[in-house]
Each structure stands twice: as C-alpha cells, then as structure tokens.
Chains A and B, each alone.
Chain A
Amino acid sequence: MKALIQKDLRENLKAGLLGLLIYSLLALAVCLSTIASLTHLIDGNNGAVYSDVLQPLLSNDFLTESAFFCAIFGAVLGWMQSRNEAHRDLWAFLIHRPVTRTEIFRGKMTAGLCLYAMGAGLPMAVLLAVVRWPGHVAAPFEWAMVLPLAAVFLSGVACYFGGWLTGLRQARWYASRGFGLVLAVLCPVCVLNVAEFWQTLALTAVAVVILATAVWGAYQSGGYYRGQPAGGRLALIVAMAAGSGGVVFAGAGLLFAAVLNPWSSFSYSSSNYRMTQDGSLYKTTITNGVVKEIVDLDGHPLLDPKTGQKMEWQEFQKHVAAGAAASTELRYREYQNNGNSFCNQGRFFELWSTAEKALWYLDRHGDLRGYNAQTRKYAGSLNPPGSRGALGREPFLQLSDPGNYYGSDDLKLMATAKGVYQADFKARALKPVFSLTNDDEICGFCGDPGGPILNGNQMKFILLTTKSAVRLLDSEGGTILGVPYQPGYVEYPQVGVFFLQATNGSTANFAVWFYPDAQMNLKSGWKMPHHVLWLGPGQTVARSADLPYLHPQTSISWPTPLLQALLPPPAHLASDHNIYSPWSALCFALAIISAGVAWVLARRHNASIMAGIGWTLFVFLLGVAGLLTLLCAQEWAAREPCPNCKKLRAVDRELCEHCQAPFPPPEKNGTEIFAPL
C-alpha cells in the first residue's frame, strides 16, 4: 500500500503545490493587510478600520477566502484522484492487483489527505506560528481563535470526499454525479454561519463519514450502486438525498423567481414607540422601509403645527428625545460569547482605544490589554485595584455597543461589577469615578450616552444598571437619579433613559423605559407590556404607563410556503408548525404521492418487501427529494418479455417471477461447432 500512497502523491503533487502556493499568497495577503490596518490606525487617519483584520486568524475576509479555497482545493484534489483512473482500462490496472479494494481506497485517501494538509494546513500552521510569535500581531490571542480556521480546514476535507465521489460515480444522469457535493459544500457554508464550533464540527464530521463511506463503497463496486456493501449504499443514498433536496429546492426556487416576481408581494411592517422631548409618546409604523404613519396612542395622526399637514419623518426626528439604553444581560463571566459566533472577532475582543501609539483591547475575559503599535508586543494591562475570583483581578464588563471608541475624545469609561473607572492611557492608570459599596453589583453600563446639548455643550451622563436599581450618573460619578428595577429584573432586562426637555428650563427631566425580554414575551404570547416611568422634580415618579408590545408583521408571499411545501415533511413541520394549514396538506400530499411511486417502482423491479418498505418510508420522509434520490441512485435491471408467459421479467433473475421459467438457452442456428477439448 505504501507504493499506492507514493504513486498518488507523485501523481497529484502539482495540484497540491499549486494549492499551497495560492493559499500561502492568501495568508501573506492577510498578514500584509493587518500591518496596513495597523499603520492606518496609528497614523490616526480617520477612516473605519474593521478590527477583525487586526487579528489575522479572525479576519472575516480571510476566513471567507479560506472557506472558498479549502472547499475548491479539497474538491479538486478529490476529483482529480478519481479522474486519474477515469479510463476503464486504467481503472482495471489499478484494481487488478493483490490488494483489497479497501486498501486501495485507504492508500489513495492517505495520499490525498496528505496533499490537502500540505496545501491548506501548512499555510495555516505557518500563519499560526507567525501570529503566536511575539512582535507580529498587536492583538490578543487565545487558542479558541484557532477554531475558525480549524473548522474551515475540516470542511475542506468534506469537500475532498465530495469531489472524489463526483468523479467516481457511474450515473445514468451525469448531473447526478455532483449531488454529493451539495452535502460537502454545506460544510464550509455552515462554518461561516453557525454560532458554535461544536455545531459545525458535528455537521462536518457527519458529512465526512457519509461521503468517505460512499467513496469506499464506490471502490467496492466500481462506482455502481449495486454490488456495494450495505454501508456504502446507505451512505451514497444519504449523500444523494442532500443533493436531491438542494436541487429540488433550488430548482423550484429558481423556477418561481424566473416565472414570476414573487417577492413583490412580500411585506414587512414594524411599529415602534417614540418619545418626543416633551415626554409624549407616539407610534411610528414603517412598512417595507417606507414610513407609513406617525400616530399618537389614540391613533390620531401627528400633525405638524407649522404646516398643518401630517408630520414628515425628518421633522419628527428633530423632536425625538435623546436617550440611552443599557442591558442587564451583560455579564462578565468568562467565555460568554455575547451573541457572536465563534468565527467572529467580536466574541474575543473589542478594540478600545488607539491612544498614545498603543492599541488597547478589552478582551472577553474582561482584561484591558495594551499592545505597542510599533513593536506589536504586549505592553501590559490596565486593571482596577482589588482582586476577585480566579483571575486575580477585577474583570471589566463588556459593552453591548462599543461604538467608535478609538480615536475620539470621549470619556473612556469602563465598569466592573463594583465600580466605574475612567482610563487614562497616557498615564496608564485608572481613575475611579463611582463605586458600589453594598452587595449590589453592576450588571449593565452605557459609558457614553450623549445627553442633550445645553448651552452649546453636550452633557455627558453615565447610565448604570445594577441588580436592584437603574442609576444615571453625571460625568464625575455623582448620582442624578436612581430608580428601582421594575416590574422585575429578569423579565425586563433592558432599560432606556430618555432626556426630556425641561419645561421650566433649568434641570433636565427624565423618562425611564423598561423593555421586556423578547424571548419571554414570545413564550407568553406577546403579553408583556413596555413599562414607562416619567420622573418629575426631585427624580420622583410623576406618572407611569404600560404600553402593549408591538411586534413586527410579516406577510409571506405565496412562493415561500409553496417552497416550504416541497421540503421533506419533518422539515416542513419544523418550519410551519401548523399541521392543518393547506401548505402542510400539500406537503404531505406530495410526500404520499412520491412514496406511492417509489413503492410501485420497487415492486415492479422485484425489490424485496423489506427493501420496498424501506424505500417507501425513505421517500415519504423526504418527499420529492427522496423520489429524485431513488431515481438517481438505484440501478434496476432491464426487463424483457418472457418467452414462456409473455410478461415482462427482470433479466437479472434466473427464473421468471411470474411463471418460474428459466431463460431459454441460446437459439441454435445449425452452424454450431462444439467438440471436446
């Protein structure tokens, strides 16, 4: 088998080296763009720099390019390995030797995966080494950052087997050879679109096992469906099912899109409450991106006092009160993913400041880390005093919406569970601004809520949520207002504070808004209302109101549910929970018809009862896609009329299924010459 591995290595080396070259260039490009971004940031030229480029391992562009590359490279390698023996006689040359087919498969697979590891893995490993080496990347590093590239690498392995299967299958319809690729390509797509590594790992592992088994089975039978062991056939069917599903769905979707323009009847409408600077509430409705109406809570449209007509949106915006929001869902425990996927740089750190030729990041452990922009080395952390927990320091809270925090002259405020601090990066110090002394903990924080402009200056406030109350602080840390949490802490985790125009012109008035948790509201059937408090002089509650929750309305145009009806019944039920809707009925009808066709075909071609039931169930579960899979995968023997009973009989059975007559011996025409040898 070593000879086989060597032969395949030698045969496909050029492709492997080409891939290595291309991917190395891509990796080099990402390193160069990182350095360019860094320079860009330090020079202070204001232009947005996406902070994901600062850590090459998490660069969004690079991950997308890597996904494309690994998929294409893997598929091409696999495809080439099968096309190398495409010619019938070369296949015979490969197969006819004293090794089992499984050994041949293993040998080629080893060679192919080695080349893939060289072309895709080697540049990744070098990149990792470069990143890990101090002085190259001025950004935090943790080993979990390697997971996105690892996932991309593994997804390419699935594409490798997909490409290999495509070249191997002997299929009646040439296009059906590519069905395995649909399952394979799903893997890199999944990497970039799921939240957790384990999810994409599971899908990729399943895809690799299925596709590799299908390839193994193809080697047992020369690419045909029949003659494979059961495992190979099962794997092939599953792989084909994914492909059939994709084709049916995509084909139907394209058909609808081409024939009609269905999305024109799609509409999305959302309504929101808005508070104006005088404390009044209005409801705005936007349908398909166009402002439909601005009404007060009784439904009367708001009229512009100047024109007497309905208020225009731009005009309305001028009257809307400024506000800030903070959420108590922010927790500072380690490894919270704050809603970002494992590929997203935002899960790991945020660029906090580029002051003083240094880059300051707040990483997800709550550590404020500085990196020297010139030497690109770690320059130390800023930590608040006191130690807590296993980290030996007090971790900072992450912010839900950091905004444009670098390069601006903002307050540079940060909060821990117990206090608010102002960072002075030049002096490398933290100045305490506010602290909690009791058992209460800060749970949410909005560090730079721009206040209204008073006397030409924008007033600065700090919004804090703790477990017991909502606090608004001034820029020195003095408490302006504190309101207990209501109705409840967990159900209403988001708080907004609005700055209202003071009617008497001196002190600003405030309104506090409590937003219900969306998931809980959904479960309760959207029954939880908004809770609004208006505060009067002395920050006491002047009045309060409960507003019914407004949730967006979408009307789905007809092709979407029609497409959903083409889904396999279980998938359809998962997406459209209503089993009695007409679309569900259509879905089940299609599935039953397809299953019926499958049963008829199976019995006609003499499948055993068990096989017939199996296929019928399979097709029923998968609907139209299942029927397509059956037609593409199964190879049934031809039928010809039986000379005895005149009915059609399968040619692969010794005896006729109707009259049990054997096939007749060849007709003699009198010229036979037979003699003992």
Chain B
Amino acid sequence: MNEQSVIETRGLTKYFGGKPAVYELDLEVPRGCVFAFLGRNGSGKTTTIRMLAGLEQPTRGAGSILGCDIRALSPEIRARIGYLAEEHQLYGWMSVAECGEFQAKFFAKWNGRIFRGIAGHFGLKPAARVKDLSRGERAGLCLALTLAPEPELLLLDDPGLGLDPVARRALVESMIYLTRKSDRTIFFSSHQLSDVERVADYMAVLDQSVLRACCPLEKFQESVRQVRLRFSGAPPALPEIPGLLQAARTENELRVTCARYDGETERILRALSPVEMETVPLGLEDAFISYLGERGEKSFILPDLEAQP
C-alpha cells in the first residue's frame, strides 16, 4: 500500500439486490489533500463513503483506509477518522452541550475548544435541544462533533446538503481551517460545485456507479471544452468525435462540448471547415453539467411542449 495514500480501493463493488450501486471502483486518495467526490444523485457516492467508513459490507473488492481493511475497522482507526453523514442525524433529546460531553468521553484526543469554536461559529447555544435546531444548525453541530477529535481523515457525505448559504459558507470555512495541518485529508462529496471549486484539490466523478474521472480540479476544467463553430450555411452532420459529450445545432452554428479536448479533436473539428471556430471556456459547474448530462445531439431550439390553442 502506498504510504502516501490514506484511502485505497481496488475493484470495490456493491450490489443492492441485482443492481450495482458501485462497480469496480479503483481509487487512491493522497494524504493531506482535499478530495471532492462528485456525481449525480444515485450514482453511488454515499454507498462508497459508507463502505469506506466500514458501515456497509462491500459485495466484492478490497479497500483500505489509513492502512486498515475497510471490512474490519479497528477502534483505533475509527478514532482517527471523522465521519459525517448527509442527514446530520443525532439524538433529538440531547442538548448541544450533552452531545459534546457524550462524544468527548469516547475520544482521547477530544479538543473542547474546537467543539465550542465551531458550535459558536454556527451560532449554537449549549442548552438548545437537537430536535429544536434547524437543518443548518444541526449540520454545524455534527461538524463540530466530527472535527473536535482532530481526526486525520474526514469522510464527509454531502455535508452541505440542505444548508442555507450562510451555513454553507461556515462549512467551507471550517474545511479550509482544517487544511492548516498538512497531514489532514478531507474526502467529501457535494453537489455545490462552487464550494468544490473553492476548496478541493482533486476531484473524482462517479457516473452511474462507475468512476469516470479522477484528476486535479484544473485538469478537469481544462479537459472539458466547448467549441463554437460558425458556418456560412447550415452546419454539416457531426462526425465521430472521441469524447463527445453534447452537441447543439442552430441555423448556422454548431456547439460541441467534449471531454479530453486535444489536438486530435481540434483537427477533426477544423476538417468541417467552419467559418469561425472558437473555444468557449467553461466554469467548473458548466463543465460538470455537460460531463454528466444528457449525451448526444440536441436542437438548440426547444420544441414547444405546451398544447397548441
């Protein structure tokens, strides 16, 4: 096992019933980075994170986290991993302070200042009952409970789900605060690509249970390009382009979005003899949407779906 990896999986697979939720996942997460795990809903992200946290038995394949087999996580390893589930579930009858006291008794390395600091950052009162907290406040409390033992590795499953912008910002700030220690690793999944753009070093994309991308953030943005081709007349038929994601056609324009844009792609496009060819830069979110969105060619003008009078 690579000493520099905190998480390693080989052929990790999980079936629910007869359908695979995660299929043959090979992943390596280096130490000390912020790793974003992206994908559409239902693509297998939560299942993967739960398997890594030892909460779900893989159907086949292997994984190790901090050097320990994920099928048999020892208590010592669990002390070094912080896990945050997306529903932010806690015991409703406990108060904020009681939650902190409860967790503190289990961890040798419990840092009460961190707990109080993050709880205060989210505006939590120690006597408030968990069932009376809002979604964002609960998320903050869960985050405080997860970070206070100062874990080496954080597994965050969609930590920003359902949070208002203020709470989300507080969450991102907490994540950046964590990067102060260089040996801390954060592995998180998210749908908030703006936050991912801010905070992540690397990203991986799961598409329908299969890993399709794993690279530094900029590489992804560079690889997904949109090219606008203008023609004098009607645009020609689209040839076979490797890595084609989407194409849109208007009266005399062709917009082609492809992954892995390189010289070969450029050559093929130039061979269509456009009047003008322009690369449209894409932000991370647009690139992501194109990457995982509906494939194929579509007309730029949406048909009028409403009934005609």
Q: Residues on A close to B: CB < 8 A? A: 2-3, 7, 10-11, 84, 87-93, 95-100, 221-222, 224, 226-227, 637-640, 651-654, 663, 665-667, 669-675, 677
Contact = CB atoms under 8 A, between A and B. Distances in A.
Given A89-B88, A670-B243, A677-B215, 18 more contacts: A11-B91, A11-B93, A87-B87, A90-B91, A93-B90, A96-B53, A98-B78, A98-B79, A99-B75, A222-B56, A227-B57, A637-B59, A651-B60, A670-B260, A673-B205, A673-B219, A673-B260, A674-B213
Interface in B1-20: 11, 13, 15, 17-18, 20
Contacts of A652: 15, 59-60
B33 A677 contact: yes
Contacts of A99: 75, 106
A573 B55 CA distance: 46
A571 B214 CA distance: 62
Contacts of B81: 96
A671 B259 contact: yes
21 contacts: A2-B105, A88-B87, A89-B86, A93-B89, A96-B54, A97-B78, A99-B106, A222-B57, A639-B18, A640-B18, A651-B15, A670-B243, A670-B259, A670-B260, A671-B258, A673-B213, A673-B219, A673-B259, A674-B215, A675-B219, A677-B202
A647 to B, nearest CB: 16
Interface in B48-75: 50, 53-57, 59-60, 75
B188 to A, nearest CB: 15
A671 B243 contact: yes
Interface string B145-189: 000000000000000000000000000000000000000000000
Interface residues of B, number: 60
Contact of B106 (A97, A226, A665, A674): A97
Contact of A677 (B50, B59, B90, B214): B214
Tell me what chain B mostly uses at the interface: helix, strand, loop, or mixed.
mixed
Contact of B59 (A2, A100, A651): A651
Contact of A3 (B83, B106, B213): B106
Interface in B197-252: 201-202, 205, 210-216, 219-220, 223-224, 242-245
Nearest to A94: B91
A672 B83 contact: no
Tell me what chain A mostly uses at the interface: helix, strand, loop, or mixed: loop
Contacts of A100: 75
Closest 8 CB pairs of A and B: A675-B215, A89-B85, A98-B79, A3-B105, A89-B89, A671-B259, A666-B210, A673-B213
B55 A95 contact: yes
B75 A98 contact: yes
A96 B83 contact: yes
Contacts of B87: 87-89
A653 to B, nearest CB: 7
Contacts of B28: 677
A672 B13 contact: no
Contacts of A672: 212-213, 259-260
A653 B11 CA distance: 11
A100 B74 CA distance: 7
A652 B103 CA distance: 36
Contact of B211 (A96, A653, A666): A666
Nearest to B56: A222
A7 B75 contact: no
B259 A677 contact: no
Nearest to B16: A638
B212 A92 contact: no
Contacts of B215: 673-675, 677
Contacts of B57: 221-222, 224, 226-227
Contacts of A669: 212
Contact of A637 (B15, B54, B102, B259): B15
A85 to B, nearest CB: 9
A659 B56 CA distance: 29
A549 B210 CA distance: 83
A666 B220 CA distance: 20
Which has the most chain B C-beta neighbours within 10 Å: A96, A640, A670? A96
A122 to B, nearest CB: 24
Nearest to B241: A670
A201 B106 CA distance: 38
A90 B90 contact: yes
A362 B127 CA distance: 64
A96 B65 CA distance: 14
